[in-house]
Structure formats: C-alpha cells, structure tokens
C-alpha cells in the first residue's frame, strides 16, 4: 500500500498531492462537499452561480491507512489509492468507490460481424466496442438495496437502476422508450437511497458524459465524461428531501412564476400560420367553456422562420393589435424562438449578428452554417455574455408586441444537416472554446439570455419555456419534455419523467398533453388531461399533420370530462402557487414521487404510476388503455378520497374504480387546501375572497398571496396567511400583511359545516 499523500489546507479546501493529479475536497456546507481534480479544463460552472461556501466546522484526521474528513452530516475517506468513500455522519456507506474490475457487458464482436450487425441497422453497444473513450470514470459500489433517481428528463422509470444514460442534448424524433439513453437535457445529478440512506452526487461537467446505473453490473454504477475536470459534489442530508434541497441550494431554485402561467395552455404546430385560426381556437375555448390562459405560437407566425419577425401578412398587418385583443380575451400569446438565425444578408438580425461577430465559427474562421427551419442558418454564440445581451435586446421586438412569454425550441442545438462538429468554435464566456464543451449548455445560455431580455423589457417575472437545458437552467426557465407521442407508454412515462425532473431541480415542467407526434384518440386525450391536471406546466400541444386534439375535437363525453378537469385545475392553482412559493425557499418540487415524501417506505421506491403534489395530495391516474379500476398504494397516515370523502388508512393497497371520467385522487387527512374561485382566466386583479377546504377537523396551513405578476413581492408586497383548525374551530392570522387588499372574506369548508370569516382591519386578522 503506497503512502498517504501529503496535503495542504486553504480555508475549507484540502488539497491532497497525488502523483498524477491533485485531489481537492472543499467543504461548502456540512452537507455539500466538492470533489475536484483539475485535469486542465478552465472556466467557471454554468450550473452554480455565486458563492455557495458557508463557514462550516469540519475535521481532517490521518487514521493510518486513510484520511477522514468529517462534518456534521458527512464523512469522506480518502486513501492512498485515491479512493473517495462517502458515508453519512452515522457511518452508513453512501457512495463508496468500487474496488473490483468492471465487467463489460459482453466480450465484443470481431470487426467483420460488427459491420454486418451495423449494416442491418443495429447499433453495437459502446462498452462492447470500447468506443466509450472515457477520459475518466467514477465507479461507485451498489448495495443490493439501492435505488437511484434524478438525471433530469431521461426516459424510462422512476428508479434509474439497471439502465444507462448519456448526457448530450439531443433532438431525436423517434418514439422515446426506455432504451433511449439521451433526450434534450443534461442534468447530471443523481440521488441514491442506499439501504434506506439518502445521498446525491452532482457531476458538474458540461462535456458529453455517461451514467451506467448498474446496467453493466449489479455491483456498481459509474459516471464517465469524455473531457473536462473531475468535478463532483457530494450531497448529504437526513432525508431525501434534505438532499434535494441541498442540490437546489447549490444550483438554484425555480423562481416564483407569474400566477397565470399555472393556467391551462393550448398549442398546436400550425395554428399561428393565420390570425383567423388562432382566433378560432380562442373562440372554441370560450364557446366550449374551457378556462385558458395562453395560446402558443409555433414557428409559422414568423416571416420565413426568421426569429424576431412576425409575418404581418398573416396578421392583418398588425400582430400587436391581435396580441392585444387576445389579451383582452384573457389569453396571452407565447411565441416560439429558435436559435438558428436565417442566413439572409437582407435580414437585420442576421446582418447585425454578422457585423458584430456573434455567430459561432468553423475552425477556419468562417461563420458556421447548418440547416434548421429557415434553411441555411447561423448559430448565436450564447456562451458569450455580450451575445446573450444582444439576444436579450432582440426580445424587445416581442415584448413590444405584448407577448406573455417566450418558448425556446431547437436549442440542443438541433441541426438538420448532420451534427455540428465538435471543433466548431463556441465561446466559453469570453474565451474561445468548442462545441464539444459548450453543446450541453447552449440551451441553458439561450434560456438565460431570454430570461434577462424578458426581465428587462417586461418588468414581470419572465416566463421562458425551454427544450434544452443543463443543471441550473431551472433558475431561468420552465421546461417541457419535447416531442413525445400520442401513445400510452408516453402518458405512463410522464409520471417518472416529471418526478425525476422535479428532483433534479426542475419543478416547473410539463409534457405535451395528448401527445405531440402520432394521432391521439379520445380515451388517451381524456386520461392525459386527468393525469396532467397537476402537471406544473399544463399545455396541450401537437405536431402539424397529426389529428387535432383540442378539447372539443372528439365531441362528448371527451369535451365534458376535459372541461371538468381543466376547471378542477383552476381550483387547485392557489395550492400550486403556494407550493411554488414554498419551493423558492425549500427547493422541493411541486410534483413529486412518493419516495421523496416517504423515503422510509420500501413500497414507494420504484412506484411509477402514482405521484404526490406537495405533501398533501396523492394522484393515481389511469395510464393504461381500457382500464377502469386500479390498485392505489396509500403510504402511512390516513387518506380521504377527494370525490366522496371516504377515509382509508395508509400502508395498504386499495382497489379504486375509475371510469373514464374519474381521476383517483386522495388528500392526506387533516390537510387544508386553498380552493381557487371558478374563473376562465387568472386575472391580474387581486382575489377578494378565498376558500379553504379542510379534510378533517383539525390542521394548519400557510397561504401566500401577492399580485402574481411582478417583483414587488421581493420588497415585502405579499401576504402570508396562517390558518389553523382545532376541533372544528377556525382561526386565521395574517403574520405578514404587505399586499393590498387582503382577502375581504375567507370561507373555510369543514366536512360538516362552513365558516365564513371577514377581514377586521383593527386587529389585522379574520373574524366570524
Ligand atoms: O423540428 O416548431 O419540440 O414542440 O412544435 C420540429 C415545430 C421543431 C419541435 C418542438 C415542437 C414544435 C416543433 N419543433
């Protein structure tokens, strides 16, 4: 056994002098430790902004054959072979380096057979060919009882164990199934529940990377990257919630959205080719009594797919007039913006970008051109702060028209004429770098630029929706999961996908309701609107050329059921808004897997067809064709059936009938939920009244209210209400009253009675 390396300490960073590379451990907090090995890459993190290190007590001891670094939450052991082993404070192993040799999936095939197999269209797996030219890898032991979560938007199931994934933002229109290793986002955070003990690892490296989550072997999982530094953060905490909270402390939390963004949104690729069609959709929503807050404008509204243009010919010469009229009808316009700028010297955005040198270039110095929607296009160099500012400035074109937000697509970046070569010159802030390094943060930087533009020119909480993202993009943007299909496996996938996105920091996420590609059908659309009624982003969107899937497309009973659930959504918006507000402080997602709330319960560790909304609402949608009843697992505690108030004790499976118009929905006993007024659109006018439903005869609840649009809440312009119910007695306080008017009247619905309280200015509280 070689000798332990020498070390030096600077502040909370210990540097161990190993022969090849120094290894650094930095204590950021008692539950966040950075493991860093400089392998020559420079530059700053895109995921982490600002100083995250807090003064933290820790000790470092030489215990003979290894060092031990101890904080209040974590114990890290470093030995002379450069193993890094992580334990919790009680000494339970969390992430311990694997000592054995990797066991490749098979012994490989010879070159001749490999070519034949590939000629038939099969791909030979990377570990077989050795094509996985890993620059470094981190291999950690798997326990028999270990479950793995996170990784953002990947396909498949809640528990990632047994699968492999790549981080290389990719637009692949094929049906996304569990064998897909990559989608549009790269969010390299993973969580483990090892023998019931939670932890997380965040690998902050934007280069292409790979996670094998115990597919190759049940004995280990590994992470590898093709370049960059070894740079990962160990995340501890007593519960899985603590660990998620620590991850979002590090990479940032979803900011408070505008309230209307939680409303229903209607979209279809094709609507925006004519003002008349968009108006027909708005009329349909009104006629069929479907509450709605936004219509999305896909690529067709532009002039020849030129970003930051609006084809006036399609909008009676005046898009602003139409957007204003839509707003008066209660509906915001959300236009799409792609990164590709049409190569056209007569087009000002292109000409300006060329003049200023803002597009990425081939190594020979010429502007790099690939094809996207507008045909030959140039790609803004979003890694540069100056280019982001320029892009943000272009947003003014849209904010002047009066849009409600901006939808960013194709920002992986996608390209139609082959992939962008690795060596195309993209900037890393102000330094020339490569596509190889900047690919996975391209969408992140575009979303950040869009956020900055909206903030500057709208003075509202920016509403950005992006398809591509990196860890940390949640600070700037909502996400949707891209091009799913109208197939049952994709309504099923929605649950684990949104739950893992939530655990990966992306609380504000949604899927295309009804399915994007392929033709939907009445039953699928119905089940989808039910399953998505709590989806943080609630948007029906479909591809051009597919069967129409507006709520009224299938007649009855689809329309009535659809309406019932959209109306239910609006009742729940104050609860969702409260959860978003709480999430700005806790970093916990709105929509969550049961394991996040009940990490001690082995039954929920790979539960793919149920989820929770906050701590109080349990949803068990039907996600299979022709099914009208299902098993619902209720975790510990007592539960109330939302539809009939029947009570159940938890820790058991129950059989629930769910005919086509029913979503199995359970509320935790003694929970209190705010209950929004029935509205067609979320109004900018403050609510004068509010209702709370009590699912028991006791309980307490914290409720938040502000103007729902701008940043004044940051100067204290918000109200914080606390409700408590004891043996049927209601009391409501207003511990923070900074927004006016506070509710004039509050109705509290108990199981057997209704209590109405009015605001009393003298005591600044509510009285019967
Ligand atoms: O190449 O703008 O995921 O939502 O409707 C397709 C057209 C480009 C992909 C997006 C989808 C959008 C579509 N876009």
- Give the nearest ligand 1 atom to 483 CA: 3
CA dist., res. 577 & res. 687, Å (int): 14
- Give the nearest ligand 1 atom to 512 CA: 4
CB neighbour list of residue 56: distance below 8 Å, 6 or more residues apart: 12, 27, 28, 29, 30, 71
For the purposes of burial, counting CB atoms within 10 Å of the CB of 749, is it exposed (0-12), middle (13-18) or buried (19 or more)?
middle
Mutate to test the pocket of ligand 1, among 174, 185, 269, 415 (most ligand atoms within 8 A of CB): 269
- Give the nearest ligand 1 atom to 372 CA: 1
CB atoms within 10 A of CB 578: 20
DSSP conformational letter for 346: T
Host H or E run for residue 310: none
Is the model's pLDDT at 116 over the cut of 90? Answer: no
- Active-site residue flag, 483: yes
- Give the nearest ligand 1 atom to 299 CA: 2
pLDDT digits (tens, 9 = 90+) for 312-368: 999 999 999 999 999 999 999 999 999 999 999 999 999 999 999 999 999 999 999
Say which residue the tokens 């929004």 belong to. Answer: 676
Is the model's pLDDT at 127 over the cut of 70? Answer: no
In degrees, to the nearest 5, what angle opens at C-alpha 537 toward C-alphas 247 and 616?
A: 65
Whole-number Å distance, alpha carbon 289 to ligand 1 midpoint, is: 28
Q: How confident is the model at residue 134 (pLDDT cuts 50, 70, 90)?
A: low
Longest Cα–Cα distance in the chain:
87
CA dist., res. 338 & res. 299, Å (int): 8
Please check whether residue 410 is in contact with residue 421, taking contact to mean a CB–CB distance below 8 angstroms. no
pLDDT of residue 131: 38
How would DSSP label each residue in 207-226?
A: S-EEEE-SSS-TTEEEEEES
Whole-number Å distance, alpha carbon 714 to ligand 1 midpoint, is: 36
Mutate to test the pocket of ligand 1, among 336, 417, 467, 485 (most ligand atoms within 8 A of CB): 336
In degrees, to the nearest 5, what angle opens at C-alpha 342 toward C-alphas 278 and 274?
A: 15
For the purposes of burial, counting CB atoms within 10 Å of the CB of 104, is it exposed (0-12), middle (13-18) or buried (19 or more)?
middle
Tokens of 57: 């007590």
Is the model's pLDDT at 121 over the cut of 90? Answer: no
Q: How many CA atoms lie within 13 A of 112 on its CB side?
A: 0
Q: What is the mean pLDDT of residues 602-627?
A: 98
Q: Which of 153, 166, 171, 412 is catalytic?
A: 412
Q: What is the mean pLDDT of residues 139-166?
A: 98
In degrees, to the nearest 5, what angle opens at C-alpha 442 toward C-alphas 441 and 445?
A: 80
pLDDT of residue 675: 98
Q: Which of 159, 300, 311, 483 is catalytic?
A: 483
Tokens of 339: 């990164």
Mutate to test the pocket of ligand 1, among 170, 512, 543 (most ligand atoms within 8 A of CB): 543
pLDDT digits (tens, 9 = 90+) for 51-104: 999 999 999 999 999 999 999 999 999 999 999 999 999 999 999 999 999 888
Tokens of 375: 């045909």
- Active-site residue flag, 599: no
CA dist., res. 546 & res. 446, Å (int): 29
Query: Phi, psi at residue 615, to the nearest 5°?
Result: -95, -10
pLDDT of residue 123: 73
Mutate to test the pocket of ligand 1, among 409, 482, 537 (most ligand atoms within 8 A of CB): 409
Q: What is the mean pLDDT of residues 386-394?
A: 98
Whole-number Å distance, alpha carbon 662 to ligand 1 midpoint, is: 32
Query: Phi, psi at residue 714, to the nearest 5°?
Result: -70, -15
DSSP conformational letter for 680: S
pLDDT of residue 1: 65
Is the model's pLDDT at 270 over the cut of 70? Answer: yes
Domains and CATH numbers, the chain: 1-91 (2.60.40.1760), 260-338+385-420+429-570 (3.20.20.80), 592-668 (2.60.40.1180), 685-767 (2.60.40.1180)
pLDDT digits (tens, 9 = 90+) for 394-435: 999 999 999 999 999 999 999 999 999 999 999 999 999 999
Q: What is the pTM assigned to this prediction?
A: 0.97
Question: Which residues does ligand 1 sit against, CB inside 6 Å?
Answer: 269, 298-299, 336, 409-410, 467, 482-483, 516, 541
pLDDT of residue 2: 77
* Bridge partner residues of 690 (DSSP): 746
Is the model's pLDDT at 734 over the cut of 90? Answer: yes
Whole-number Å distance, alpha carbon 369 to ligand 1 midpoint, is: 20
Whole-number Å distance, alpha carbon 296 to ligand 1 midpoint, is: 12
- Give the nearest ligand 1 atom to 336 CA: 2
pLDDT of residue 129: 36
Is the model's pLDDT at 518 over the cut of 60? Answer: yes
Whole-number Å distance, alpha carbon 60 to ligand 1 midpoint, is: 53
Cis omega (within 30 of 0) on the bond before 664?
no
pLDDT of residue 609: 98
- Give the nearest ligand 1 atom to 543 CA: 5
pLDDT of residue 396: 98
Identify which of 40, 85, 80, 37 has the alpha carbon closest to the alpha carbon of residue 62: 80
DSSP conformational letter for 269: T
Please check whether residue 64 is in contact with residue 254, taking contact to mean a CB–CB distance below 8 angstroms. no
Is the model's pLDDT at 107 over the cut of 70? Answer: no
Say which residue the tokens 């606390």 belong to. Answer: 722
Whole-number Å distance, alpha carbon 407 to ligand 1 midpoint, is: 11
- Give the nearest ligand 1 atom to 338 CA: 2
- Give the nearest ligand 1 atom to 482 CA: 3
Q: How confident is the model at residue 132 (pLDDT cuts 50, 70, 90)?
A: very low
Q: What is the mean pLDDT of residues 588-606?
A: 98
Mutate to test the pocket of ligand 1, among 173, 304, 483, 544 (most ligand atoms within 8 A of CB): 483
- Active-site residue flag, 311: no
How would DSSP label each residue in 66-114?
A: EEEEE-SSEEEEEETT--EEEEETT--EEE-B--S----SS----HHHH
Q: Which of 409, 550, 578, 680 is catalytic?
A: 409
Whole-number Å distance, alpha carbon 269 to ligand 1 midpoint, is: 7
- Give the nearest ligand 1 atom to 267 CA: 5
CA dist., res. 590 & res. 610, Å (int): 14
Strand 729-737 relative to strand 719-726: parallel, antiparallel, unpaired? antiparallel
Q: What is the mean pLDDT of residues 24-43?
A: 96
Backbone torsion region of residue 150, taken as left when φ is above 0, otherwise alpha when ψ lies between -120 and 50, otherwise beta: left
Whole-number Å distance, alpha carbon 409 to ligand 1 midpoint, is: 7
Whole-number Å distance, alpha carbon 256 to ligand 1 midpoint, is: 27
CA dist., res. 716 & res. 441, Å (int): 34
Q: Whose CA is nearest to atom 6 of ligand 1?
A: 410
CB neighbour list of residue 334: distance below 8 Å, 6 or more residues apart: 265, 267, 294, 295, 296, 297, 403, 404, 405, 406, 407, 463, 465
Identify which of 374, 411, 397 has the alpha carbon closest to the alpha carbon of residue 309: 397
């Amino acid at each position: 056994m070689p000798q332990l390396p020498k070390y030096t300490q600077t502040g909370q960073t210990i540097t161990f002098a190993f022969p090849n590379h120094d290894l650094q451990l930095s204590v950021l907090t008692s539950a966040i430790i950075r493991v860093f090995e400089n392998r020559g890459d420079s530059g700053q993190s895109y995921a982490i902004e600002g100083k995250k290190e807090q003064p933290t007590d820790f000790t470092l001891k030489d215990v003979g054959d290894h060092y031990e670094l101890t904080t209040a939450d974590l114990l890290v052991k470093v030995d002379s072979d450069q193993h890094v082993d992580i334990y919790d404070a009680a000494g339970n192993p969390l992430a311990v380096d694997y000592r054995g040799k990797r066991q490749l999936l098979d012994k490989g095939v010879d070159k001749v057979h490999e070519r034949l197999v590939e000629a038939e269209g099969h791909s030979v797996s990377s570990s077989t060919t050795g094509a996985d030219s890993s620059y470094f890898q981190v291999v950690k032991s798997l326990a028999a009882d270990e479950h793995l979560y996170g990784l953002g938007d990947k396909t498949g199931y809640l528990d990632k164990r047994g699968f492999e994934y790549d981080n290389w933002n990719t637009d692949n229109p094929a049906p996304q199934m569990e064998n897909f290793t990559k989608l549009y986002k790269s969010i390299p955070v993973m969580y483990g529940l090892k023998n019931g003990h939670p932890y997380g690892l965040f690998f902050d490296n934007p280069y292409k990377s790979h996670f094998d989550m115990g597919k190759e072997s049940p004995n280990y999982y590994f992470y590898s990257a093709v370049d960059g530094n070894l740079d990962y953060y160990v995340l501890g905490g007593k519960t899985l919630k603590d660990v998620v909270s620590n991850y979002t402390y590090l990479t940032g939390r979803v900011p408070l959205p505008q309230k209307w963004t939680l409303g229903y949104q209607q979209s279809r690729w094709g609507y925006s080719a004519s003002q008349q069609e968009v108006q027909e959709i708005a009329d349909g929503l009104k006629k069929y009594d479907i509450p709605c807050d936004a219509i999305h404008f896909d690529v067709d509204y532009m002039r020849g797919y030129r970003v930051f243009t609006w084809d006036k010919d399609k909008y009676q010469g005046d898009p602003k007039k139409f957007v204003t009229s839509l707003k008066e009808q209660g509906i915001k316009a959300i236009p799409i913006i792609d990164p590709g700028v049409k190569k056209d010297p007569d087009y000002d955005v292109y000409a300006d970008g060329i003049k200023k040198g803002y597009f990425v270039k081939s190594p020979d110095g010429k502007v790099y051109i690939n094809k996207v929607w507008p045909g030959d296009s140039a790609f803004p160099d979003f890694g540069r702060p100056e280019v982001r500012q320029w892009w943000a400035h272009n947003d003014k074109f849209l904010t002047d028209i009066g849009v409600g937000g901006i939808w960013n697509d194709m920002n992986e970046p996608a390209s139609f004429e082959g992939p962008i070569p690795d060596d195309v010159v993209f900037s890393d802030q102000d330094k020339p770098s490569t596509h190889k390094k900047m690919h996975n943060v391209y969408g992140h930087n575009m979303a950040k630029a869009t956020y900055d533009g909206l903030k500057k020119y709208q003075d509202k909480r920016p509403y950005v929706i992006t398809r591509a993202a990196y860890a940390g993009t949640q600070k700037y943007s909502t996400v949707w999961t891209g091009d799913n299909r109208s197939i049952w496996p994709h309504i099923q996938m929605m649950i684990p996908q949104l739950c893992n996105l939530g655990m990966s920091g992306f609380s504000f996420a949604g899927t295309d309701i009804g399915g994007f590609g392929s033709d939907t059908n009445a039953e699928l659309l119905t089940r989808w609107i039910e399953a998505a009624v709590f989806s943080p982003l609630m948007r029906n969107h479909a591809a051009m050329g597919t069967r129409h899937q507006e709520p009224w497309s299938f007649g009855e009973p689809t329309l009535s059921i659809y309406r019932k659930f959209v109306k239910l959504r609006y009742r729940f918006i104050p609860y969702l808004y409260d959860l978003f507000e709480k999430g700005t402080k806790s970093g916990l997602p709105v929509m969550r897997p049961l394991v996040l709330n009940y990490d001690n319960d082995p039954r929920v560790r790979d539960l793919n067809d149920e989820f929770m909304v906050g701590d109080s609402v349990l949803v068990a949608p039907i996600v299979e064709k022709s099914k009208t009843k299902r098993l619902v697992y209720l975790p510990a505690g007592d539960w109330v059936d939302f539809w009939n108030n029947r009570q159940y004790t938890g820790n058991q499976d129950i059989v629930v009938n769910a005919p086509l118009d029913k979503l199995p929905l359970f509320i935790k006993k003694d929970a209190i939920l705010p209950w929004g007024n029935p509205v067609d659109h979320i109004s900018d006018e403050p609510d004068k009244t509010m209702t709370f439903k009590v699912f028991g005869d006791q309980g307490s609840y914290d409720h938040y209210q502000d103007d729902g649009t701008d940043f004044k809440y940051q100067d204290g312009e918000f109200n914080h209400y606390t409700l408590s119910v004891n043996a049927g007695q209601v009391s409501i306080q207003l511990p923070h009253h900074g927004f006016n008017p506070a509710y004039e009247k509050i109705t509290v619905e108990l199981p057997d009675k209704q209590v109405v309280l009015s605001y009393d200015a003298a005591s600044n509280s509510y009285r019967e």
